[in-house]
Structure 1
Amino acid sequence: MLLTMDRSRPITLANAAHTGRPTVWLLVIFIYALLLPREVRLSAGDLVFFADRLVAIAALPLIISAFANRALRITLCDTLLGLGSLFIFVSMSYHYGITSGLERGGALALDTAMAYFIGRYSVRNMAEFRTVMILIVFGLLIAGGSMALESIRGAPIVKPIFAGIFGPLPYYDAGLEITGQTLQSEYRLGLLRSSGPFSHPILGGLILCSILPIYLIGGIRKWPRIAGTIAALLSFFSLSSAALIGLFLGFVMIFYDWLQSRTMLLSWKTAIIFTSVIMLLLQVLTQSGVFSFIVRYLTLSAATGNYRMLIYEFGFATALNNPIFGIGFAGYDRPAWMVNATVDSHWLLLALRHGFPTALLFFALAIVSINMVAKAAGRSRGQDALFYKSIAILLFLLTFLGFTVAYFGGANSWYLAFTGAAVSLALSDTAQRRAQLPNVVRPSHSGVTSTHSPAGALPLPKDRPPEHVRSYTA
């Protein structure tokens, strides 16, 4: 069967992974591991090894070797990620001591860092990124299809099957295993809010809706494009406001990009200015401000929106009182009638659990990575530009929706794996374009002239033509 990834380069499914380095398989395997239910796990005492964690541990020597051999070079994004992961461990050690902190925070730091670096290591150019998306479309479609089937049937299917094999998933309180988890069923619009293989319906909807721009405009063609788009639309069966907002924003941003490419009157800068003005008006003209407006009214349940505002109010106050190391796994200060200590925000949860430095480091990573990909899109034309834009939209959606969803159960690893891959992709674009320019001779401090190569990239061999540059960039 013939797959075509862009207008000029068709490949077959059998040799899809051979369009680039074999390392693309690492990211493919990691993503398939993320798509497995969390019930699939191995336990060793108090340690739990989920499928994606096992892949991350196995990949650790490869990542270390890549940096040691300078196949990967440390960049600003890598530094932000590394410092954020270190702060996770430090904050847990601060609250629970080194030994317990290693148990509680070590796994979190490992999952966080390795997801990002697997993405950084696996993908170095556009063809490889598209190859990954083609190879994972089967898993995404199966995951989305299982959500649709569960929702229409009105009962969970996937998790009970795997719970019967591996045992029910434990419930964790303060980072420690307490008891078996009970599946809770919730209905909206006459349908079950299904989760399929994901940890929660919201997370399933979030992951699936985020892939829409890549399959719709990213240059993946024929049946993989159709299958990926269907998988994204199946996020509807999460019956989650986050998924529906993600789909809506994805379509709006894709349509706006199409529109601005056909008129000189519109641009992304214009869109940013217009959006900023609208947000300013909402802040001034509404009683509770723009943030409250978004949280209250962009939900399927008014009660959920109101309760979420209380979470932000009391959670943020607690974070301000514990700004450096947060409160660990303890519950935030709140009225007694707010029994549930859930925090419906990835960014607030980072600040609460690990302190503001951790939250700010990871948010800075998100902004810098989106900016890198957006700049690559601005330097490109045609289908290449659309692919960069699709990645930028994906990262924006995951970053924005992180204000309304707490990422757990593999969702954060999904986010960071794509962030790492996007960073490497943007770096490879920079290296390729510099290689296509005449060599810029710069004097060094030793008096020996040298050509300049971008941070994060290997030195560009002089005897290599520009088209081979991507194999040597990070």
Structure 2
Amino acid sequence: MPAIAAKTRRKGTIFGVPIVVALFFFGMMMPTSVGISLGGLRLSVYRVVLLVMFIPMLVMLFSGKRGQPHLFDALALGHAGMALVALIHWGGLQQGIESGGIYIVEFAGAYFLGRLYIRSHNDFRAFAKAYVVIVVGMLAFTIPEALTSVHILHDGIAGATGGAMAPYIEQRMGLERTFGPFDHPILYGVFSASAFSLAYFVLAEKRLTHWRGMAWVIGVCIATFLSASGGPYVVLMMQMFVAGWERVFGKIAGRWRMLFALFAIVYLVIDLFSNRTPFHVFVTYLTFSTVSAYNRILLFEFGTAEVARHPFLGIGLGDWVRPVWMSDSMDNFWLLIAMRYGLPAWALLVGLMLGLIYAVGRRKGIPDTWKRARHAWAFTLFGIAVAAATVHLWNALFVLFLFLIGSGAWMYDAKIDSNAPPQTKRKRIGAAVPLPRAAPPLRRPKARMF
């Protein structure tokens, strides 16, 4: 029976990954020019996948076939609903529904795709392996791209479909900033960097002597480096930092409270002893140029002022107040969400991500394989979330972020497999040590008559 069940689970998958998820990732790696226009609506490949699957996924969700609906599903739908209200408030009913409708499909659709189709550790591992293989496999094209300045994947795909070629971007560190198949090096870099924790914790199983797994990790780092973009480097560095913290202090209870306390102390020290705010210091040291850092600081100042003027429903897709010489590009995902859709929508998104991480982190008695998957998932989201304060998550990056949030929801409510290997016991420093049980009293055996 187990063998039959295993064969059944493989149906509808490609290398263990559900076909719809494979199509979604295939669509994300297509340049924006690959798609169709329906009226004034641009339908890229991944949008078509999400649009086709949206209603079936809602039916699947409320039927309970892939886990009962829970609070975090409500938060995702609540954010999407608030964004729709904000866009209707900005552009009227027709324009608001057009813009808000596709936002709902991207936001809720990408979240539910991960939430409903990644439902076990086997699903998560298959997805992680496929993701890492894609990132490392693209090196066959992006290394020559960095050395020759020929955008092989992007221009090859765009040329075949009649799309626009890659725009000119200045080199950095003597290398061409690689696009891969994406529309910008930042997109390629964040897509690559997001695979680091998946490679380290799932494929390498957190073992530095796991040579094949660590080869995947190194490949992910090389791919991220070729983007020559500050945002992807932040995603990678943040994951490396928390992975190192877990490795060094993994046996200490309360190590994450220690980390949060360390962040708070660093923030206070910078605030007390620097003539700049901690945000200014953070942006300055995590960007490539002083011009880029100064621009992000101005974006933050004028953007937060806009949020203060429109705190509840934001400004929709309208323009925001700024000097005439400033670009309208907003390189801060979190600020843009608050500015466009208001603080309630922003709070629902933050609550979805942080609340789900907290709920999954509180689950006890899970096997070691689940623990590594939990670290991979949470650390990936942490890296992207920090970098999102200096870059905007748009197009493929936006739906990837929401898919990744949903891809860890199985650890919140999935039943632990009784056949899973037992949890490795290890003594944690600072953990409560249970007292030994008292030995049962000795009893005199009853006399027996023969």
- Equivalent pair of 2:76/2:352 in contact (CA under 8 Å): yes
The answer to whether 1:18 aligns with 2:7 is no
CA distance in 2 between counterparts of 1:246 and 1:352 reads 23
* C-alpha deviation, 1:304, in angstroms: 0.6
Question: Could you tell me how far apart the structure 1 residues matched to 2:20 and 2:50 are?
Answer: 9
Q: State the shift of 1:268 in Å.
A: 2.2
Is 1:269 the equivalent of 2:257? yes
| Aligned positions of 1:116-195 closer than 5 A | 116-168=111-163, 183-195=167-179
**Cα distance between partner residues in 2 of 1:325 and 1:218:** 41
**Equivalent residue letter for 1:410:** A
State whether residues 35 and 198 of structure 1, in contact with CA within 8 Å, keep that contact through their aligned partners in structure 2.
Answer: yes
Q: Does 1:314 align with 2:302?
A: yes
The yes-or-no answer on 1:243 pairing with 2:235 is no
* Whole-angstrom CA distance in 1 between matches of 2:139 and 2:73: 32
SS in 2 for 1:128: helix
What whole-Å deviation, never above 9, does each CA across 1:330-353 have from its counterpart, x for those lacking one? 232111221x11111111111122
The verdict on how the C-alpha distance between 1:182 and 1:212 changes in structure 2, with shifts beyond 3 A counting, is closer
Match of 1:43 in 2: 37
Deviation at 1:15, TM superposition (A): 7.7
Contact 1:36–1:197 (Cα < 8 Å) also in 2: yes
**Does the CA contact (< 8 Å) of 1:219 and 1:383 recur in 2?**
no
The answer for the alignment partner of 2:243 in structure 1 is 254
- 2:183 aligned with 1:199, yes or no? yes
Greater displacement, 96-105 / 160-169: 160-169
- Aligned residues: percent identity? 23
Q: TM-score, normalised by structure 2?
A: 0.83
Larger Rg: 2
Stretch moving more, 53-62 or 226-235? 226-235
Residue in 2 aligned with 1:77?
A: 72
**How far is the alpha carbon of 1:114 from its aligned partner?**
0.3
- Does residue 288 of the first structure (1) align with residue 282 of the second (2)? no
Alpha-carbon distance in structure 1 between the residues aligned to 2:378 and 2:111: 16
**Which moved further from structure 2: 414-423 or 319-328?**
319-328
Give the match's secondary structure for 1:432: coil
Equivalents in 2 of 1:20, 1:260: separation in Å? 41
Alpha carbons of 1:352 and 1:207: their partners in 2 closer, same or farther (altered >3 Å)?
Answer: same
**CA shift for structure 1 position 328:** 2.0
C-alpha spacing 1:61/1:332, structure 2 compared with 1 (3 Å): closer
Contact 1:370–1:395 (Cα < 8 Å) also in 2? no
Aligned to 1:440: none
The 1-side partners of 2:222 and 2:17 are apart by 29
Among 88, 93, 102, the alignment partner of 1:93 is 88
The superposition leaves residues 383-428 of structure 1 with CA deviations (integer Å, 9 ceiling, x where unpaired) of: 4322211111011111121111111111111011111111123221
Name the counterpart of 2:351: 364
**TM superposition shift of 1:158:** 2.4
Quickly say closer, same or farther: Cα 1:392–1:20, change in 2 above 3 A. Answer: farther
In 2, distance between residues paired with 1:99 and 1:144?
44
* Secondary structure, counterpart of 1:48 in structure 2: strand
SS at match of 1:67: helix
Letter in 2 for 1:268: W
Q: How many angstroms apart in 1 are the aligned matches of 2:110 and 2:387?
A: 19
- Residue 354 of structure 1 aligns with which residue? 341
Report the AA paired with residue 160 of structure 1. D
2:386 to 400, 403, 415: 400
* Alignment match, 2:436: none
Q: Secondary structure at the match of 2:43?
A: strand
1:455 matched residue in structure 2? none
**What residue is the counterpart of 1:445 in the other structure?**
none
> Contact 1:120 / 1:423 at 8 angstroms: preserved in 2?
yes
RMSD over equivalenced CA pairs, Å: 2.8
Query: Residues of 2 paired with 1:162 and 1:219: CA distance?
Result: 30
Q: TM-score, normalised by structure 1?
A: 0.79
Give the corresponding residue for 2:312: 324
**Between Structure 1 and Structure 2, which shows a larger proportion of strand residues?**
1
Q: Post-superposition shift, 1:24? A: 3.0
Judged with a 3 Å threshold, the aligned counterparts in structure 2 of structure 1 residues 196 and 433 are, in CA distance, closer, same or farther, namely: closer
Give 1:20 shift: 10
Matched residues in 1 for 2:247 and 2:134: separation?
29
1:461 maps to: none
Runs ≥4 residues deviating over 6 A: 14-17, 19-23
User: For residues 407 and 337 of structure 1, do their structure 2 counterparts lie closer, same or farther at Cα, with a shift above 3 Å needed?
Assistant: same
Q: Gaps (5+ residues) in structure 2?
A: 1-5, 206-210, 421-450
Q: Distance in 1 between matches of 2:288 and 2:320?
A: 25
Q: Residues of 1 paired with 2:218 and 2:112: CA distance?
A: 27
Alignment deviations for residues 83-105 of structure 1 (CA, whole Å, 9 cap, x no partner):
11112222111111111112222
In 1: Cα distance, 2:171 partner to 2:378 partner: 33
Show structure 1 runs of 5+ residues with no match.
1-13, 170-180, 437-474
User: Aligned to 1:73, what secondary structure does the other structure show?
Assistant: coil
